[in-house]
Amino acid sequence: MSYEFKVYINEGSEFFSWQSDTRFTMTKQEQNKDFELSQSLLDMLDLNTEDYFDLTGRMGDEIKNLYESDGEHNIAFLRDSFDKMAKEHIFFEFLRIDWFDRLEKFAKGEYKNPRSKIPYKEITHIPMQIRTWQSEIRHIIEKALDVFSPDIPIQEKMASLYERQVHLETFSFEAVNTKFERINGQVFAEVLHPQSMRDIVDFLLRAVIRHELTFKTCRSCGRYFPNTAHGNSEYCNRLFKDTDKTCKEIGSVKVYQAKLEENPEYKIYNRAYKTHFARIKHKRMTKENFKAWAEQARDMRDLVTRNEIGLAEYENWVKN
């Protein structure tokens, strides 16, 4: 065995398992990663392809140099580049160990026609391939897997989409290399043995459609997230921009601030809460008394919200 890479779905999660024994691989033991179903596809939608044009272009030049030049070959640059890409997305992990296997066979002189076994264009075309996958997956989500129009069955929307959109040639869902296997003595699942990154994308997209997942657009970052995973939330769990808070946490703050603006009784309560809490620190109020006050203040606030007492009466009660 030079390497093995497997992808399978089980209980709403996607699993990746791989092992490689080439001389370029640092760890020979089996490696495993798992994600919530659809997460790797959504992460791929977030990849900025501009970041890869220069790198894959230089990698392509080095690969081309392997079979066009008898001089010194920069295998180390290729190895480091594949390592770098593998850290950025799980799909690149397959690319890495697949090409490590090819590079080792090339170094051993096992390829009579290296041009066909290690074609440089296979690497230089990666950014454009990802752009195509991103475009078509977004189109499928928008037309068939978006949370809107829930009354129309997903299978009906998919059938309608593929009747009209004959240009979706990338995901024509033709045969892929799968078989049912026993995994870790506990799971029996359909396992993909990919021949390319596209096989992985195709396999996972099939699983999303088969499980009839739907997606929302996060109100904070504008990216898709699974509808079923976060209930009625309008925000995803990704980190928001350069902060250490998630979109959901940021969204909760925004919703609360909007509530303060729309409901002045909440603003009065919030201000009084901070004042009374400070009294505990200065030992002017016990925790027990503060807890009792806060409970009564919330009850009074809710009476204002239900229009059972006036705002002025509540504000006067808080002050006194």
Place of tokens 């990338």: 170
Average pLDDT over residues 197-214: 94
Closest C-alpha among 11, 106, 124, 9 to residue 67: 106
How far apart (Å, rounded) are the C-alpha atoms in residues 45 and 40? 9
Q: Which of 172-186, 205-219, 292-306 has the highest mean pLDDT?
A: 205-219
CB atoms under 10 Å from CB of 14, counted, come to 23
How far apart (Å, rounded) are the C-alpha atoms in residues 56 and 290? 62
Query: Interior CA angle at 256 toward 252 and 262, to 5°?
Result: 145
How far apart (Å, rounded) are the C-alpha atoms in residues 71 and 64? 12
User: Can you point out the beta strands (E) in 153-242?
Assistant: 178-183, 187-192, 215-217, 224-226
| Complete DSSP assignment for 55-96 | HHHHHHHHHHHHHH-SS---HHHHHHHHHHHHTT-HHHHHHH
How far apart (Å, rounded) are the C-alpha atoms in residues 150 and 65? 54
Mean of the per-residue pLDDT values for the chain?
A: 86
Helices (H) and strands (E) in the chain, counts: 13, 7
Q: Is the confidence at residue 71, as pLDDT, over 70?
A: no
pLDDT in tens, 218-275: 887 888 898 874 456 788 888 776 677 778 776 666 655 655 566 788 888 888 888 8
Average pLDDT over residues 13-25: 91
Q: Is the confidence at residue 156, as pLDDT, over 70?
A: yes
CB atoms under 10 Å from CB of 137, counted, come to 23
Average pLDDT over residues 137-143: 91
Taken in order 305, 311, 317, 320, the sign of the CA dihedral is positive
